[in-house]
Structure 1
C-alpha cells in the first residue's frame, strides 16, 4: 500500500504529508498547521482542497484503501502475489508510512476508525467471494465472520508489531519479522493445523447448543 511518490499535485502533497503525520502522531495530535508545514504550503490551502481536517482524513482513508484494493487482486493469483510480495520486501521503507497510518486507524476509537475497519472487512469479503468463484478458495460456513476474523488477525499484527518482533528476536517490526512470519501465515491458510475435523465439530456443537431458539 504505497503512496504515489511521483504525484506532484498540491492535493497529493497534502494527502501524503497527512498520512505521514497521522501515522506518526495520531489523528487528534496532528493539526492542519502541522500538515501544511510538512507539505510546504499554507494552512488555508489545506482547507481549500479538503474543507477540513476530517475531510482530509477521509481522502487519506480513500487513498490507502484504494491501494489495498489494487493489491487485493493478487490474493487469488499466485504469480501476482509473488510480484506484490517481491516488490514489498525489496522496498519496505516505501510502505512504512501507510502501515503506520493503518495502525493508527485501527486503534482510533471514532466513527472514522470504525468505517476504516469495516471497509477492510468488506474488501476481504470480496476477496473470499472472488476466491470461491476462481476456485482458489473453498466455501466457508460464515463468510462475514470469516472475513472479520481474517481482518482482525492481519491488522492485529500491525497493532502488536513490537511484540511480534520482540518474540522473534528482532528489535522492531520490519523486514526481518515479515520474512519470518509470511510463510507460517500462508501455511495456516493452506494446510489446516488440525489433522481432522473433530475440534471443528466440537466447537460447532457447543456454539449451536448455545444459540437461543428463535
Structure 2
C-alpha cells in the first residue's frame, strides 16, 4: 500500500501487510499469525494494536476507503485526473494491493462487505456534489441513485477484470491484479460515454420515464390478470 512517510509506524506496517494478504488470500484464509509473519512481527503485537482479525479488517477497510476517497476527489478535477492516470500507468504495482483488497471486500458476503460498498457509494455521492459545485459535473435529479450506478459500473471493472481483459485481448493477469493495459483500453471509452452520453437524443429516457410514471393496472382480489399470450393466440 501507498503510505506516507509519517505513517510508517509498526501499526501501519501491520495494516499494510494485512491489506496485501487479505487481497491475495481472502479474509477467511488469512490469519492473525500469517499477517504477523507478513509484517515481521509477533501475533501478540497484531492483537495488541487491533484487538482481533475483525478489528484489523475494519481498520484496513477504513484505510482503503480513505485512499479511494482521495483519488475520487482528484477525479472531480480534470488536471488531477490526468496526474492520477499517469501515476497509475507509471507505478501500477503501488496500486496492486489496494485493487486486490477492494475485489476481495466486494466479493465477501458479510456485513463488513456491505459496509464497504456503502462507503464507496457515499464517497461517489460526495464526489458528484463536489463536481456539481465546481461546475465539472452536471446536476442530477437523484444524486444518490446516480452514485449507486456510477460506483457499480466502476467496481464491476475490478470484479470482472479477467473477463474484460479476455474480451479486449489484453494480458490476463492474476485474479487480484488489474494491469495498466486494461486502463489504457477502458479509460477513454468510459469517459467518452460519461462526457457525451450513449444515446443521440432523449427518446429512450423519455420512454422510460413514461413507463415508470404509468400506474400499474389493478386486479380484482382473487382474480388473475389475463395472459397477454392468449390474446395473441385469439383466446378470450
TM-score by length of 2: 0.86
Which residue is equivalent to 1:4?
3
Report the Cα offset of residue 203 of structure 1: 1.0
Q: Which residue of 2 aligns with 1:209?
A: 214
Q: Cα distance, 1:210 vs. partner?
A: 5.5
Query: Which residue pairs with 2:96 in the alignment?
Result: 96
**1:141 match:** 141
| CA shift for structure 1 position 148 | 0.4
Question: Deviation digits for residues 159-207 of structure 1, max 9, x if unmatched?
Answer: 1000000101122241111101110011110001111000011111112
Counterpart for residue 183 of structure 1:
188
Bigger CA radius of gyration: 2
Counterpart for residue 163 of structure 2: 163
SS in 2 for 1:47: helix
CA distance in 1 between counterparts of 2:70 and 2:181 reads 25
**What CA distance in whole angstroms lies between the structure 2 residues aligned with 1:100 and 1:209?**
44
Q: Tell me the distance in 2 between the aligned counterparts of 1:81 and 1:210.
A: 44
Distance of 1:29 and 1:208 partners within structure 2:
48
Deviations, residues 105-156 of structure 1 (Å, cap 9, x unaligned): 1111000000000001000001111111111111112111110011111111
Contact 2:23 2:97 in 1 (8 A): yes
Please give the root-mean-square deviation of Cα atoms over the aligned residues, in Å: 1.6
Count of residues in Structure 1 that have an aligned counterpart in Structure 2: 212
Q: Label 1:210 to 1:62 Cα distance change in 2 as closer, same or farther (>3 A).
A: farther
TM-fit CA distance, 1:212: 9.9
Question: Could you tell me how far apart the structure 1 residues matched to 2:138 and 2:81 are?
Answer: 18
TM-score, length-normalised on structure 1?
Answer: 0.94
**1:132 matches 2:132:** yes
Gaps of 5+ in 1: none
Q: Does 1:192 align with 2:191?
A: no
Post-superposition Cα deviations, 1:19-42, rounded to whole Å, max 9, x if no partner, equal 011101111111000100111111
Q: 1-side partners of 2:124 and 2:53: how far apart?
A: 28
Structure 2: which 5+ runs fail to align? 173-177, 219-236
